[in-house]
Amino acid sequence: MTATEAQFAKVAAATRRRRQPLRGAAEIGLRVGKVRNKYKVGKHFDLEITEDSFRYARKAAEAERTSIVQKAERSKAAKEKAATKRTADGFTVESFRCLLSNLATIVKNRVRPAGTSIDPFVMMTIHERTTPRCI
């Protein structure tokens, strides 16, 4: 983000220089667009482009954070769900590994009866597991 700010500062300075200042909203916008697309953090800035000036500022919420990738605080509902292993509707919460193992028990069979005039059809089969479920 500091690299983006440095490049935005150069564009802003180009609009204020004495010799051949950068003029026109379109020209300024093109220069700002190059910087914004290069670093991909333009969404974190408030930009103001006029015919003869360019201003930028970090968004207030972004300026308070010390890191772009900062852990979000868990909500009360998320903490409760993690503690009880149940959703608000009362359903059991499963881990991703458990979900994959349960999905692995579903089989798609294409059945072609031999010696009959019946068209082939698809039959879904769920294999019953005898092992305890993971949570």
* Same domain for 60 and 19: yes
Contacts of 95 (CB under 8 A, 6+ apart): 134, 135
Q: Is the pLDDT of residue 132 over 60?
A: no
Of the ranges 31-35, 89-93, 118-122, 124-128, which one carries the lowest mean pLDDT score? 124-128
Residue 116 placed within a domain: yes
* Same domain for 80 and 58: no
Q: How far is CA 44 from CA 29, 35, 37, 56, 115, in A?
A: 17, 13, 13, 10, 67
pLDDT, tens digit, for every residue of 61-89? Answer: 666 666 767 777 788 988 998 899 888 88
Residue 91 placed within a domain: yes
Amino acid 13: pLDDT: 94
Residue 133 placed within a domain: no
Amino acid 54: pLDDT: 94
Whole-number Å distance between alpha carbons of 48 and 36: 13
Amino acid 108: pLDDT: 86
Residue 59 placed within a domain: yes
Residue ending a domain, choose from 17, 39, 64: 64
pLDDT, tens digit, for every residue of 40-69? Answer: 888 888 999 999 999 999 887 666 666 767
* Boundaries of domain holding 111: 76-126
* Same domain for 92 and 53: no
Strand 106-111, strand 121-126: pairing? antiparallel
